[in-house]
Every structure is written in structure tokens, then in C-alpha cells.
Structure 1
């Protein structure tokens, strides 16, 4: 089995530290086993290695993010760069065609596609070893990995399974993409699972979808078409149209850490960088990449985040609205790119561990 790790993302939900160049997976904020810190992508690659899955690992990033991807993975794995960001389906196809053209994979081989920006326990990755046997036993075209919801979240997609087979998998009945709270509660009553964004299928299955879309099955030809391609997600383009798919349930820890609220719970300290929290500041988080100090006095339940791209002060529960604000104010992202080019690499090197 070959694993393709998708290293993209728009970089909006964890602004101002993430942006169009440095996505959230490159933030070196998570506690590492050696007592220091590591990024999401570094953590995922480390866990894949511990699970014995790193020998056939390929990372796909935007061409402007190749150097960052290599830096935060120790340059231990091959990284290829897409010319443009065109969604998870296109990135997965780009990686699969690279493996095929290089002679590293054959059409009958199993390809596992996974996001680089997730936070899961070690058992999550060990389950990947079951995929080939389950695909053979179920005779399914596509396998997905899901996990039991801990709350009726509006941030995740859901997979509705049929009754689980004795082989540890269940046929997929339907999908629901980021429903409202009431719908999410109903989905939980139907034993729906959060969609972890992990897919496994034979390479030939992906080649059939490329042919259906009229896309070339050769890397150079696909690269030439990239600028004119629409954004296509793997979920909508493949999974939701597949009538012969199964889902495997993960019982354990999983999150995409897609908001400051969820990320703050995983950080090693309430204060990272220059400044401090003073007085009653329960459930607050401060991260400062600037050289000037940032202080918060007597305010609970907030995030105070400062970097070269900007400063965000928000309620932990409302901080995710920054994505909508950035969408409505694109000039903020323009400033973010300028700030990145001027300050980013120094800021990343100088983040102190506390």
C-alpha cells in the first residue's frame, strides 16, 4: 500500500499564524515526545513512521509550500509540488500519477490518501494496515475511515453507515457535509461518523475517474492542464458518487484541530511567546510571534494571537468566524502574504517553547 499525504489548505481558520503560504499544519506548536514542539505535519509523519507506513509515503504540496513541507518533515520523505491548488481530488490524482509514472506503483496497488493536518492517536494510523484486507474481503471500490463524534459539530462532514459487518467495516449509506447542529444531532442518533478524510482504493479506481473527467493519466499532461482545472474535492467528486464504498470506524482520538478553540486544548502552555496572562484568565490562550510583548489581564475564555500578518483577539468559541471575515475582506490576506515574505521564517525560528 502507498500513502499519499495531502499538504494543502487555505490557511484561514488559524489566522494570523496561518496563511496562504504557511497552512496550519506547519505551525510548530504541538508538544513533541522529546519535550519540545512539533507541527501537525511533523507529528503525522512521525506517527506514520512508528506504524511502519513511511516506506511508501509521498507528500503532495503546493509548489510554494514544498520547502516548508520538507523543513517540517526533516526532508525524510519525497515531496512533489502542485502548480496550483485545485482541491483534494486533483492533488490525490497528481500524487497517484507520479507514483505510476515513476514505476513505484501499479494499477492494482492500493493507494491510501490522507490529510496532513489532523491530530489522532497512534492506533488511528495502525488501522491503515487493515485497509488492503478489508477492500479484498468487502469487494468494495472505496474505503473510508471515520470516527465516532464527541459532539454535534458543524465543522466536520459525516458518514452514515449501515450495520457493521463482522469484518470490522460497514457499507456506506450516505454523506452529510458540515450540517447544522440539529441535523448533526440527528446524524449522531443514526450512528453517523465524522469523516476523517482518509480514503483507500486501488490506483485503477482513480485512473477510471480521471478518464471519466477527460483528464490525462500522465503527470506532465495533467500539470499542463492545472491552471484551467476547477477545484474538486475527493469527497464530492469520488466518495459521494461511489455506490460500493465501506467505512471503518476508529475508536479513539481524532481531530483536524481546525479552530483556535480545539487547538488551544492541545498546546503545552497557555502562554507561548512574549507576554503573559494576568489575573482571572481561565481558559484563555496567548500566542505571540512578535518581538513586542502581548499582555492580557483579567479576561477569560479568549484567544490572543499575534503575528506579522495581524493580531486576533476573540472568544474561543467565536474565533472560527475569522474564516468568514477573511473571505469577505480579501485585502487582509494580501497583507498576510506580504507579512509572510518579510517576517515569516525569522518568526518561525524564534518561537520560544514554554
Structure 2
């Protein structure tokens, strides 16, 4: 068995904590001291740890967008196998690319069972046991696709519904009568009464089945070739493109713990505390949660059944029951993410403005974890000023290396190569000033910190 973990997400349902760089699977509930609590774990970390418990991590790859690479490696380590989309599409192209990778790079046999599952789920170990069991039962099945169907707890409009054939109730894998994608509440109630199950987003198939789909669409099986053609693939989900068209599908019912935590209402049920971050909740604020990533306190008095979430990206105050409508409401909001977790640590944008010279000025708070470093890089459109707040580090500017500590200020001119490595945990304020300031204005170089020398030019990010 091989596993493809899908790491997608638009970052809208849990705004303002989530964005296109930090989708919900990467969120850790923050503490009140410095915005980062390493005792908290994200959804992707919990899924990966469960795969390790069942000795499945070595058989798993993660399909993700390029912008997620740093946060995934930051949270899981750099030994995970990533298949990165060159452009963002949907689950069908992502599964095709990952399957091609298994075929080309891992030389997986076409008869091998492949399990596809999302990384943004909250479940217990029983769910992973059910996945393993589904894969084992699917091996002796003649079906083309296998699914896991969760027994519904209420009529929900956000799930697809699987209606099994009632004639084989005693079978381990049930054949499927029909699918209904995200029905209205009344229809969902009727489907539940008929024995319908929620679609958990888990797909099982033999690798050869997916490769034949590539053949039928006249797309290459070879990974490198498919990668070059990836931008031409349709942006469509695996459900719509494959599952709903396939007649030979079976489902394994599951009744244990599972949630995709797709709304703030659902997310709040997993929080260890009503107050997460700086703030005060009055005793009469019943079932209200505060999630505060800012350094200023939030005070709530007499407000019940609400979610108050604050981050550098914005502030949300919502009735929990209305939180499923958030994605549509915030569509007009379009701005660069103000917080990002990276390979070296994290940064938070404090301020963005234009000065009297019509230059863009961006001010960031940057944290570099001990023994981690910001890459040796150059900017062509801006200069930077670093002010060390705390900690000690090594700095390289145009091949010149020196040590810095609290209170030191480094002025990096436009066009100068520069990097910093933390000796212990290091915090700094970074002010970027230029005609244009963007995350794309970076050319990275490989630098050997032990030998104190430049190795070669790295990637240019465009």
C-alpha cells in the first residue's frame, strides 16, 4: 500500500488565521506569550504522527503547492517526500501527478493499492486503522475505487453523500447506489434516513487504474513529462472527474471520530482553552472562544457562542453558527499574507506604508530558530535594515562574516548578498525599503556555513 496525502486549501474558511500560505492544516493554536507554542501541534503533524504509529509514513508522499513547501518541511522535517504542483490546480491533477511520481520515481507496481487522503482531518487512531483495513479488503475486491463513508451526525450541506446499495448490508465493502454532492439540508435529512454516509475524501484505487486514466486522456505517465504539461490539466476535483463517473465503486462504513474542521464552529470544539492568546473573557461570555495572535489583548464581556479571532491578516467577530458562511463573505478581501511559517522560523508583518519619497516600506518581526538560518540571498528592488531584538547570530554580507547580538543594527544595501544564522533563538525587526517590495524579489545562493564560503547560485523565485 502507498499513500498520497493531499495538502490543499484556499485559506478562507478559517480566516484570519489561515491564508494561501498557511492553510488550516498548518495552524497551531497560539499561546499568550509570544504567538508560538511548540507544545501545540497542527493537523498535518497529527496525521503524520498517526501514520508513523501504523508504520505507514515511509510509504507516504505529500502532494502540495510550491508555496507550502517551507511550512511542510518546517513542521514535518525535510525527510518527507513532496510532490509539488508547479501551478495550483485541484485534487484530480494533484492525484495524477502524485501517481505518476509513484510510477516513475518509486517504481511502484501497477497492481499496488494506493490510498489518497487529505491532511486536514481531525480523527483518532481508529480512522487510520479503518484506512488500513479498507486497503486490505480492496486488494481482493474487483472494484475500481474504494471510499470511506462516515456515519452522519446531522444534516450538513458541506459534505458529499454516498448512498450504499441496501441489498449488501452485511458485506465488508458496500456497493454504491448513487452520490449526491452537497445537498440542501432537507435533502440531506432524507438521504440520512435512507442510510447515506458522508464522503470523507478518502479514495482507494490500484495504481494501474489511475495510469490508464492518464492514457485515456493522452497525457504522459512519466513524471517529468507530466510535470511540464501540468498547467494544461483541468482544475477539477477527483470526485467530479473520476468518482461520479465510475460505476464500479465500493464504500467502507466508519463510525469513529472524524472531522475536517472546516469551520470556526467545528475548530473551536478541539481547542484546549476558551482563551488562546492575550485577552480576558468575562464569566458571562458562555461558549465563546478567543484566538489571538496579536500582541494586544482582546477583552470580551457578555458575548456568548461567538468566535473572536485576530491575526496580522485581520480580525473576525462571528456567531459560531454563522461561521460556515465566512468563505463567501470575505471574497472581496485580497491582500498579501501578513504571517508565514518558514524553514528558518516565522515572520509577522507589523506595518506597510509609503514614505515621503514614494517608497514602499514594510516592517516585519522575524524569529529565527536556534541553529537555523535565513538563506543567503539578494534583492534588486529594496534595501533592508535589521535590528536585533534578542539572541545571538552570525551574519554574512557580501562574503564578510560577523557576529551580532541584541541592539545591533545591520544596513543591507540593494544588491548585497546577505544571510543570518541564529546561534540561539534570535528575534529581529526587519525594515524593507524600496521602489517595490515583494516576496518574489529574491535570488537565493547556496552558502556553506561551516566552510564560510559561497557554493553556487540557487533558485530565482519569480
Matched-pair contact (CA < 8 Å) for 2:30–2:277: no
1:268 to 239, 259, 272: 272
Q: For residues 1-354 of structure 1, what are the structure 2 equivalents within 5 Å? A: 1-29=1-29, 36-163=39-166, 164=168, 166-327=170-331, 329=332, 332-333=333-334, 335=335, 337-340=336-339, 345-346=346-347
TM-score (norm 2): 0.71
Give, in angstroms, the shift of residue 76 of structure 1: 4.5
- Residue by residue over 1:182-236, the C-alpha shift from the partner in whole angstroms, topping out at 9 and shown as x without a partner, is 0100110111000000011000111111222232212222222222332111111
**1:133 Cα deviation from its structure 2 partner:** 3.2
CA contact (8 A) 2:22 2:341 kept: no
Higher normalized contact order (CA 8 Å, seq sep 6+, divided by chain length):
1
Secondary structure of the equivalent of 2:315? strand
Structure 2 CA distance, aligned partners of 1:304 and 1:296?
9
Instruction: Tell me how far 1:342 sits from its aligned partner.
Output: 11
* Distance in 2 separating the partners of 1:129 and 1:167: 17
User: Hey, which of these two has a bigger chunk of strand by percent?
Assistant: 2
Q: What is the distance in 1 between the residues matched to 2:65 and 2:105?
A: 20
Deviations 1:50-84 (A, max 9, x none): 12221201011101101111222233421221112
Tell me how far apart the structure 1 counterparts of residues 208 and 330 of structure 2 sit (CA, whole Å): 39
The unaligned stretches of length 5 or more in structure 1 are none
Q: Hey, what's the Cα distance between the residues in 1 that align with 2:70 and 2:339?
A: 14
CA RMSD of aligned residues (A): 2.3
Indicate how the Cα distance of structure 1 residues 255 and 341 shifts in structure 2: closer, same or farther if over 3 A, else same: closer
Change (3 A) 1:283 1:90: same
Given the superposition, is the C-alpha separation of residues 137 and 342 from structure 1 closer, same or farther in structure 2, using an over 3 Å criterion?
closer
Whose helix fraction is larger, Structure 1's or Structure 2's? 1
- Output the CA distance in 2 between the equivalents of 1:175 and 1:342: 38
CA distance in 2, matches of 1:138, 1:26: 36
- Inter-partner Cα distance in structure 1 for 2:197 and 2:30: 26
Partner residue in 1 for 2:449: none
SS across alignment from 1:346? strand
> Higher mean Cα deviation, 54-63 or 161-170?
161-170
User: What SS does structure 2 have at the residue aligned with 1:171?
Assistant: strand
Aligned with 2:208: secondary structure? helix
Q: Which has the larger radius of gyration?
A: 2
**Greater CA deviation, 172-181 or 225-234?**
225-234
Which of 338-347 and 298-307 deviates more? 338-347
> For structure 1, which segment, 162-171 or 316-325, has the greater mean C-alpha deviation from structure 2 after superposition?
162-171
- 3-state DSSP class of the match of 2:84? strand
In the alignment, structure 2 segments of 5+ residues that lack a partner are 32-37, 349-365, 369-462
**Residues 30 and 39 in structure 1, CA contact (< 8 A), matched pair in contact too:** no
